[in-house]
Amino acid sequence: MRFSVFLCILGLAATAPAAAQIAGRHDYESVGPANPFIGDSSLGAPPLRGELRGIRDGVDRARASGTISRGEARRLNREARQIGRLAGRYGRDGLSGAESRELQARTLALRSAVTRSQQGAAAGPPGGR
């Protein structure tokens, strides 16, 4: 009796993989050629040249008002020039998605650094001195 139950279970276990393969092969339709003009889902950034000009103008205004030091203004303007040069180098053969995201990230970091410098200088030195 036990042996027959064992054989029955063994027979079912042997046919289970075959039953899982009953579904036929699916033939997918052709989707046509890829369209290079369809971008990814990320939002477009403002034009880089105008963004960098706005950052440099903000640095110049902060320097003129005395909220940041000359050295800090020089460092921030140098970073803006580096981003502009990198954009020119990348743009010679067209920007890839990764290059565009890198430029956007660097520009955002620079914009944040300018804002932090302006806010930090306006708040005064730590400790209230």
pLDDT tens digits, 54-103: 999 999 999 999 999 999 999 999 999 999 999 989 888 888 889 989 99
**Mean pLDDT computed over every residue of the chain:** 78
Q: Given a cut of 70, is residue 127 above it in pLDDT?
A: no
Q: Given a cut of 50, is residue 3 above it in pLDDT?
A: yes
Residue pair 78/113 in contact by the 8 Å Cβ criterion: no
Task: Tell me the whole-structure pTM to 2 decimals.
Answer: 0.58
pLDDT value for 49: 86
Q: Distance from first CA to last CA of the chain, Å, rounded?
A: 94
DSSP, res 67 = S
Q: Given a cut of 50, is residue 128 above it in pLDDT?
A: no
Q: How far apart are CA 12 and CA 19, in angstroms?
A: 10
5 three-class SS:
helix
